[in-house]
């Protein structure tokens, strides 16, 4: 909550108080006109550089027949990217005062993600996580500094929360050094232990006081990042198709993949934004589950693009895998995306069993498309777009019946 002696920072995009340095005090949870700032948008775009690198390395691993190893490395690297992004986003929703020091520290975090991006290739190919760890350390030191700065201007309970956050960030930062120090067989276990530790930091820190994150702002931030990740998916797939056409003159083989991939991404966008999720984020418990669950949303959305690249490489003979494996590289992340979005978003707004079954049923059919050979991606795209049409139709009918019932009640 905001100190009584210091006015809350003006909403993002509104004129800010004069002076390069201001107290870092909490913003109001129900502040009007709270929107993403230009700095936050810049932050997101720079994070996509790291996501693109992770996706590119996943393509190479799957295309070379090392899917299991590639998926594990992808999951580890993507967690570091997503967790640093998420921590900043929730902190900024509660404390962004947009002064000079806040901007500088945020730019340091951006520098950290670029260092992490530079180390993605070594992490995948050589299992050398040193650069990834260094980039993560830069981001997390900056985040700890932000929390300590917030603690200086906070009330007692809020100060305790901020110090817990800073301490948890610093302790976990040391724990991640195990990925560099310990032998390779132990690293997946280090990863699992540290993931649990990282996820527990917010739960422990906010036991005494909750941050004043803004529901509409958080929903917008997640939505914008989803758009950026889906945009990166389209960009990666487009480059792959263009290269395939230019180098192999394989338009006939690539056209079904291009069309199906486009339908999948269009459907993914529609499915995510069909409901106004900010109204569901009414408590920290719901918000934690929703926010944590987006690891799978973002990771699967980016993996769809990687899968489309794999499908293109297999179609032109560059990938050393079967058509079934190439199709699975697209259909499995697509199905995971749909199930996760349904679990986090759609199920809270669906009425009746028919509406509830649309996305789970679609995910199952998309998985079945895996076995359709060269037409698997196109079939998955058609199934995905059909699910959107069915969902829109069912929703319209439900609303129509509700309006008729309301009119009848009013007339009576």
Mean pLDDT value across the chain = 86
Note whether residue 32 is domain-resident. Answer: no
Tokens of 98: 């947009």
pLDDT level of residue 379 (50, 70, 90 thresholds):
very high
CB atoms within 10 A of CB 370: 22
Q: Give residue 236's pLDDT.
A: 86
Point out the domain boundary residue: 166, 182, 213: 213
Distances in Å between the Cα of 197 and the Cα atoms of 2, 73, 178, 190 are 29, 19, 13, 10
Q: Domain check: are 244 and 359 in the same one?
A: yes
Asked if residue 147 belongs to a domain, the reply is yes
Both 135 and 224 in one domain: the answer is no
pLDDT value for 4: 34
Structural domain containing residue 61: 38-213
Q: What is the pLDDT of residues 158-171, one digit of tens each?
A: 999 999 999 999 99
Quick one: pLDDT at residue 409? Answer: 66
What crossing angle do the helices spanning 67-95 and 130-152 adopt, rounded to 10°? Answer: 20
CA atoms within a 13 Å half-sphere pointing along the CA-CB vector of 348: 17
Q: Which of 111, 287, 87, 41 has the alpha carbon at shortest distance from 95?
A: 87
Domain final position from 155, 179, 213? 213
Is 193 found in the same domain as 134? yes
Does residue 25 belong to any structural domain of this protein?
no
The mean pLDDT value for 141-157 works out to 90
Q: Are residues 135 and 197 in the same domain?
A: yes
d(CA 199, CA 190): 14
Tell me, yes or no, whether 28 lies in a domain. no
pLDDT of residue 287: 81
Residues 302, 232 contacting (CB under 8 angstroms): yes
Residues 122 and 181 in one domain: yes
Residue 275 lies in a domain: yes
Residues 179 and 227 in one domain: no
In this structure, the answer to whether residues 274 and 352 fall within a common structural domain is yes
Q: pLDDT tens across 1-59, in order?
A: 333 333 444 444 443 455 677 788 888 888 888 888 999 999 999 988 899 999 999 99
Could you identify the residue written with the tokens 């931030």? 221
> Is residue 122 located within the same domain as residue 198?
yes
Asked whether residue 242 falls in the same domain as residue 181, the answer is no
Q: Are residues 273 and 206 in the same domain?
A: no
Same domain, 269 and 188: no
pLDDT tens, position by position, 170-210: 999 899 999 888 888 888 899 999 999 999 999 899 888 88
What's the structural domain count of the chain?
2
Does residue 233 share a domain with residue 149? no
């Amino acid at each position: 909550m905001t100190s009584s002696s210091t006015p809350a920072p003006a909403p993002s995009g509104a004129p800010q108080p004069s002076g390069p340095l201001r107290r870092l005090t909490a913003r109001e949870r129900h502040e009007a006109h709270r929107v993403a700032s230009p700095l936050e948008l810049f932050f997101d775009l720079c994070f996509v550089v790291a996501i693109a690198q992770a996706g590119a390395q996943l393509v190479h691993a799957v295309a070379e027949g090392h899917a299991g190893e590639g998926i594990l490395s992808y999951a580890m690297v993507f967690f570091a990217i997503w967790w640093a992004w998420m921590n900043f986003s929730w902190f900024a929703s509660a404390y962004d005062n947009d002064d000079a020091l806040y901007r500088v520290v945020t730019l340091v975090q951006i520098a950290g993600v670029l260092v992490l991006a530079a180390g993605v290739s070594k992490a995948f190919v050589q299992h050398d996580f040193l650069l990834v760890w260094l980039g993560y350390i830069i981001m997390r030191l900056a985040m700890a500094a932000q929390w300590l700065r917030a603690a200086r201007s906070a009330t007692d309970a809020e100060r305790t929360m901020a110090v817990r956050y800073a301490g948890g960030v610093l302790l976990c930062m040391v724990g991640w050094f195990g990925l560099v120090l310990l032998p390779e067989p132990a690293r997946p276990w280090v990863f699992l232990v540290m993931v649990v530790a990282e996820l527990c930091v917010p739960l422990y820190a906010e036991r005494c006081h909750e941050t004043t994150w803004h529901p509409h702002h958080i929903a917008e931030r997640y939505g914008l990042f989803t758009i950026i990740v889906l945009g990166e998916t389209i960009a990666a797939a487009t480059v792959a198709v263009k290269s395939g056409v230019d180098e192999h003159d394989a338009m006939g083989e690539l056209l079904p993949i291009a069309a199906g991939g486009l339908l999948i991404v269009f459907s993914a966008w529609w499915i995510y934004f069909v409901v106004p999720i900010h109204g569901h984020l009414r408590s920290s418990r719901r918000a934690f589950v929703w926010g944590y669950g987006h690891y799978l949303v973002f990771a699967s959305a980016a993996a769809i693009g990687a899968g489309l690249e794999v499908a293109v490489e297999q179609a032109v003979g560059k990938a050393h895998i079967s058509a079934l494996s190439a199709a699975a590289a697209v259909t499995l992340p697509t199905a995971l995306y749909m199930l996760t979005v349904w679990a986090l978003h759609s199920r809270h707004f669906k009425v009746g069993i028919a509406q509830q079954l649309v996305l789970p049923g679609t995910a199952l059919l998309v998985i079945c498309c895996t076995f359709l050979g060269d037409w698997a991606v196109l079939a998955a795209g058609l199934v995905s777009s059909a699910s959107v049409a069915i969902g829109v139709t069912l929703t319209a009918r439900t609303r129509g019946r509700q309006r008729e019932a309301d009119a009848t009640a009013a007339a009576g």
